[in-house]
Structure 1
Amino acid sequence: MAIDFEVKDHIALITLNRPERMNAMDAEAYQDLSDAWTEVRDNPDIRVAVVTGAGDKAFSAGADLKSFLGSPTDLSDFWLTQQGQLLNRGIEMWKPVIAAVNGYCLGGGLTLMLATDLRFATPSATFALSEVRRGVLPGNGGTQRLIEQLPHAVAMEVLLVGDRFDAETALRWGLINRIVDHDVLLEAAFDAARRISENAPLAVQATKELALRSRDVDRATGLRLEESLLKLLRHSSDAIEGPRAFAEKRPPAFVGR
């Protein structure tokens, strides 16, 4: 399998598993990854996902261009907009996703990371969107999310020049949360995942959805949506359990209902 998938204690671990190709993704890997994201989205037992790459050299070098050369697609595929949904291409994922970046994070690997919520990287992590040097552009959200997450001039340099930058630069720009040693990378990611999974699942998902939708609506609409979801959550069993557990000085037992 090009993608390894496992679930434990409400946390899904997705591993891009083509280390011999720096975890570059061919058509099979993209389909497996799409299936994994669908499972995370639809499985109520999953509250958080962690995505990483196999080995110690790469998170992902993006699309495996050699596997796509000489494989033209029918133009009609362009309108199959819901086919093969990915985290960075169309799927609505309100469960938090954490990236554990272990090495090269290039092209589609970086656009995948840009679609995650928390990001941890090793000191050797290297980032780039160099598609313009190959005659194409950084798809799957590359031209969209980078300009949202970086100052305009910085994002345009990354997009138009295509140079690589290191983990310290990514941290300084705010693209990652923390730099951690390779041997504790997954530990750091899972620690954050566990802390999130202990919170009320519906409240976590509602908070993420509101935060992301706020980029596309005016402030009055965003505040109205916020108030609407808050009123809805007040009818959940978790909204009863939270205050009760606090009053009883015990950890809450949230069930996502």
Structure 2
Amino acid sequence: MSIDLDRNGAVAIITINRPERRNAMDAEHYAGLSRAWTEVRDNPAIRAAIITGAGDKAFSAGADLKSFTAAPAPLAELMLTQQGQLLNRGLEIWKPVIAAVNGVCLGGGTTLLLSTDIRVAARHATFSVSEVKRGLFPANGGTQRLIQQLPHAIAMELLLTGDSIDAATAERWGLVNRVVEPDELMPAALDYADRIAENAPLAVQAAKELALRSRDVDLASGLRLEQLMLRLLQTSADASEGALAFSEKRPPRYTGA
């Protein structure tokens, strides 16, 4: 039982490793996942990340409800808004994150999925936010991101019924980018991550940040932020390297500087 972080070149691979519980997460696993996300955010050698689950049955069943309902956290912890930050809880990671969904994606697994940038699913994967069936609702962004990322009626159907959808439906609705055979899942996710990692890291991170912040600002402010960020990146060594590599007809060697 663990949260594993491995490296494949400039790509970090985070695995929720608790297959005997369908990769459901208790407090210990959430803490481990928080540490893994912090490493992705802060390590300049990492340019992209993949999040997946161990085994071939489940991406994640979300929170281990038995562990939390049996011993709820002290009420005072509600005010510690920056403690144990997670990607779906608001931790800002501008490096792209790819989800490799290898099975059941339930509850908190789906809210985690919603905070990623690119999603590949195995053909047998299923998706749901079923918390209303248990007297709860999908927190950590479930009620916020689902309505942003799907058409209103579809998002509300998932939120209010708690029913599951299959991978083909998720692809049709735009919840995932691709559906592949199980043995093609990690190669497909790595292909996305490797192609991203070849690009200029500062430019990639700026593109992600500006795209996500556009949800919260008006168009004029967003365009101004683009101008400022572009002017800043024009002074970078990577921008010079990109132009030089193009003129010399060779692959660029980006350093993130």
Q: TM-score, normalized by length of structure 1? A: 0.99
Is 1:148 the counterpart of 2:148 in the alignment? yes
| 1:153-206 C-alpha deviation (Å, 9 max, x unpaired) | 110110011100000100000000000111110000001100000000000000
Q: State the shift of 1:75 in Å.
A: 1.4
Q: Which residue of 2 aligns with 1:190?
A: 190
C-alpha separation in 2, matches of 1:176 and 1:85: 24
Q: Which residue of 1 aligns with 2:226?
A: 226
Amino acid at match of 1:117: D
Is 1:9 the counterpart of 2:15 in the alignment? no
C-alpha separation in 2, matches of 1:85 and 1:206: 21
SS in 1 for 2:132: helix
Is 1:164 the counterpart of 2:151 in the alignment? no
SS in 1 for 2:88: coil
Q: Which residue of 2 aligns with 1:137?
A: 137
Amino acid at match of 1:229: M
| 1:8-39 C-alpha deviation (Å, 9 max, x unpaired) | 31100000000000000011100000000000
* Percent identical residues: 68
C-alpha separation in 1, matches of 2:72 and 2:106: 24
Amino acid at match of 1:255: T
| 1:133-160 C-alpha deviation (Å, 9 max, x unpaired) | 1001101100000000001111011001
| 1:51-85 C-alpha deviation (Å, 9 max, x unpaired) | 00000000001111111122122211111000010
C-alpha separation in 2, matches of 1:59 and 1:34: 17
C-alpha separation in 1, matches of 2:218 and 2:65: 40
Q: Which residue of 1 aligns with 2:250?
A: 250
Q: Which residue of 2 aligns with 1:55?
A: 55
| 1:228-257 C-alpha deviation (Å, 9 max, x unpaired) | 000000000000000100110100000000
SS in 2 for 1:55: coil
Q: TM-score, normalized by length of structure 2? A: 0.99
Amino acid at match of 1:249: K
C-alpha separation in 1, matches of 2:72 and 2:124: 36
Amino acid at match of 2:125: A
Structure 2 residue runs without a partner (length 5+): none
SS in 2 for 1:146: helix
C-alpha separation in 1, matches of 2:167 and 2:8: 29
Q: Which residue of 2 aligns with 1:211?
A: 211
Q: State the shift of 1:6 in Å.
A: 1.1
Alignment of 1:43-122 (within 5 A): 43-122=43-122
| 1:114-133 C-alpha deviation (Å, 9 max, x unpaired) | 00000000110000001011
Runs of 4+ in 1 over 4 A off after TM superposition: none
C-alpha separation in 1, matches of 2:4 and 2:30: 12
Amino acid at match of 1:71: A
